Structure formats: C-alpha cells, structure tokens
Amino acid sequence: MNRSEFPFLGFGVGLRRPHYAHVLNEHPAVDWFEVVSENFMVAGGLPLRVLQRVRERYPIVLHGVSMSLGSTDPLNRQYLVQLRDLARRFEPAWVSDHLCWTGVGGHNLHDLLPLPYTEEAVSWVARRIEQVQETLERPILIENVSSYMNFAHSTMSEWDFLSAVAEEADCGILLDINNIYVSAFNHGFEPKRYLESVPISRVVQYHLAGHSDHGSYLLDTHDHPVCAEVWSLYETAVRRFGKVSVLLEWDDNIPEFATLEAAADEARTRYKSAGREGPNEDARCDRA
C-alpha cells in the first residue's frame, strides 16, 4: 500500500439522514462525503437513491462499523460480498472500518471493542485484513477506536499495535484525532506520543468529532463540536503527516448542515495554517 495511491479529498463531512434533502437540493460546498456502509447495504429504496445522487456530484468514502476485524468469529463473507458490490457500484475513494471487534459467537454488540495489544492479536487481525482486502479487491483503512478499557496482558501500546497491524496487513490508517484524545484521557497517556509513533506513510484520513465529558471518563458520542484540545491535536497531526483528507463526524444531536460545513471550513483553515508551520510542504492545500 502506498499513500500516494489514495487521492487527497480535502475536507468532508459525514452524510446523515437529516441532511439528505439539504445536500441534494443545495449542493453545499463541502469537498466530499463519508457514509456509513451498513446504512446503504440494503436492497433498495431511498438510501441508495440518495447515495447515487450524492455520488454524481461528490467523491464518497464507505466507512463501516460491523466488519469486526478483531473478532474470533469467522469473517462474515456475505457481509463482505455485499460491501464489495456496494463499492463496485458507487466507486468510493476508499473503504474503511475499525481496528476492533464488534461481536462474538454469532452475536453483534453494535459497539467497537478494543483488542489486547499483543503480537498474537497483531497477527490475527492482520491476516483477516488481508482476507478482507482480497475480497474487496482494494486496500482498506483501519481506524483507531475510542476505548474505555485495556487489557492487563497487553504487551505494547495502542499506537504500536495500530502501526504493527497496518504494516503487517499492508493497509492504510484512518487516524481519528478525537478517539486518540478520548482514549488518552481514559487511559492516562500522552496523545502527542501517539501521533509521533504512527507511520506517516500509512495515514490517509483523519476523523474529527466531539465527545461528552462524564467526569471520570470521556465518551465518544459525536454529539458535540470538536473541542479546543482536539483541534490542537489535529494541528499537531497536520504538521507531522502532511496532506491527509479530513472528515467531520456528527452522529447524535445532529445540528443544521451549516454547523458541519463551518466545522469543515475551520478544519481547512487550521490545516492551511498548521501546514505552513510544519515541515510538510504538501500540507498546504486549496479546495480539493
């Protein structure tokens, strides 16, 4: 996998149901949309029609939540074939999912659970990502999740685990800046250390989102604006990783589309500003 194989898409937002009409009628000036794959792995109806019309005007990316790459259950072949067919039909810039497990024993928790950070888990997940990439006929990106627990028998840090899996599976990384911040708070590590350790050549996309503060822990709820600390961490990432596509996520208490558009514009402004300060010349960008 070579990062240059992935286009730079600019600054996008997650496409969510309350905004369908606005996006189709007003054609807002965002660079691209990310959609939740499972919402469109359906037989027919409005979602596929909307996606078709959005795709006619914008680049899209398929972002899944149910691949369960880290589960010890067999990979769900039917799910993968459906996803492959969806990707063939809509030609996304890329397909992504999470470095996690979502169920076991044939059951689905519909949540993104962390893995133990061990060599065995690296090998296990990497083999499965290879199988997924073979079925989907394309390299995928894996995203770091927000986590609330880690395991006593882990032998490496989360960032070393993410890097090792991506290297061994030869896949890309979707770096969720908010998830790094949330997990850093919940587990007591320095978030900048995470950014410094992930291989530059594998990072293709960022996620930015809001979270909620529960006092003793942060919860990745995607229902608030991006906080100042996450913006700051994002700027650090821009200085290190250079030209990486950026995506604003908002999944609950979803505001007017203009709010998301403004957040994407802020990401663009900060990107340009941080790019000028950093060593990566190609971080400077105009509208994609």
Partner 1 sequence: MRPRLGDLQSLLYRLITATNGVEDGLVTERKLPPDGICALVRGNAHLSAVERVEIYANMYFYRLLDAIREDFPATFGVLGDANFHNLITAYLIEYPPSDPSIGEASRHLGEFARNSPSLKKWPFVADLIRLERAMVEVFLAPDAQPLGVEEMRAIPTAQWCSLRIAAHPALQVLDCEWRVEEIVRAIAHEQPFSAPARDARTILVWRRSYSVSFRALDDLEQSALRMVGRGYPFGAVCEATAAERGDSATPAAMSRMLMRWLSDGVLVRMQS
Can you give the binding site for partner 1, defined by CB under 8 A?
Answer: 38-39, 41-49, 66, 71-72, 76, 79, 101, 103-111, 113, 115-116, 118, 120-121, 124, 148-153, 186, 188, 216-217, 219
Residues 112, 98: Cα–Cα separation, whole Å: 7
Q: Using alpha carbons, select from 12, 20, 88, 97 the residue that is nearest to residue 51.
A: 20
Rounded to a whole number of angstroms, the minimum distance from the CB of residue 126 to partner 1 is: 13
Q: CA of 231: how far to CAs of 64, 206, 227, in Å? A: 24, 12, 6
Considering the complex, state which of residue 217 and residue 231 has its C-beta at the smaller distance from partner 1. 217
Rounded to a whole number of angstroms, the minimum distance from the CB of residue 109 to partner 1 is: 5
Find where tokens 């530059």 sit.
200
Rounded to a whole number of angstroms, the minimum distance from the CB of residue 33 to partner 1 is: 19
Considering the complex, state which of residue 107 and residue 287 has its C-beta at the smaller distance from partner 1. 107
Considering the complex, state which of residue 90 and residue 231 has its C-beta at the smaller distance from partner 1. 90
Give the H/E segment covering residue 183: helix 177-187
Considering the complex, state which of residue 79 and residue 94 has its C-beta at the smaller distance from partner 1. 79
Enumerate long-range contacts of 224-228, CB under 8 Å, 24 or more apart: 224/253, 225/259, 225/263, 226/178, 226/263, 226/266, 227/181
Considering the complex, state which of residue 29 and residue 43 has its C-beta at the smaller distance from partner 1. 43
Rounded to a whole number of angstroms, the minimum distance from the CB of residue 285 to partner 1 is: 35
Q: What does DSSP assign to residue 262?
A: H
Rounded to a whole number of angstroms, the minimum distance from the CB of residue 37 to partner 1 is: 9
